[in-house]
Chains A and B, each alone.
Chain A
Amino acid sequence: DSGVTQTPKHLITATGQRVTLRCSPRSGDLSVYWYQQSLDQGLQFLIHYYNGEERAKGNILERFSAQQFPDLHSELNLSSLELGDSALYFCASSLDLGVGLHEQFFGPGTRLTVL
């Protein structure tokens, strides 16, 4: 158990819908990262939040958005869902003071299926 929790574990929805994925980082970790794992794109970085502020963006679609709340949990919102959005979405957390080697601890992932 990495200490990172993600809910829900599985999500099945229809095209055009909107969903919210939730992540609680390890106690004390200030950074939250979101990654998408799909068959055709592999593991891709989506977005990074540090202590409530967006730090970096990857190949995140405009239909996707995220935020990190004062209690440091994070939500990834996916809207106007398409079949191609079906993937495993990981959240990872780290202490991330900006320097040095800080391990990212991954949550168990949320499996999203868009029908």
Chain B
Amino acid sequence: AQTVTQSQPEMSVQEAETVTLSCTYDTSESDYYLFWYKQPPSRQMILVIRQEAYKQQNATENRFSVNFQKAAKSFSLKISDSQLGDAAMYFCAYRSGRKNYGNKLVFGAGTILRVKS
């Protein structure tokens, strides 16, 4: 079974600074997808960024980028120019790429990000 580990229960960053959230995963599959979700105090789950395992190029979405290291099974999220609205719980998630396997998401425990003004 696949597992996702987020080793940082909580992180803090100064507004306008850069922060990196860590995520490692364990899988024997070669085809899979990785995601970062944001959960603000409203509890809504919001997709931040996604990465296909077969793509070597790291995904970027505006101020959000990932460092995907497939051999190391690492998928960290970098937030640049942090804003107060970035304060939230961030979840790393894994999804198998196996056809007809079902597309359930396997989540890490989450990292609380606090942004200081």
Contacts and interface: CB of A to CB of B under 8 A. Distances in A.
Interface of chain A, main secondary structure: strand
Interface in A62-93: 88, 90, 92
A26 interface: no
B103 A94 contact: yes
Contacts of B75: none
Grouping DSSP codes into helix (H, G, I), strand (E, B) and loop, the B interface class, with mixed when no group exceeds half, is loop
A42 B107 contact: yes
A101 B43 contact: no
Given A103-B47, A103-B50, A45 B106 contact: yes
A108 B44 CA distance: 5
Interface residues of A, number: 27
B104 A48 contact: yes
Contact of B91 (A43, A45, A94, A108): A43
B16 interface: no
Interface of B: 33, 37, 42-47, 50, 52, 91, 99-110
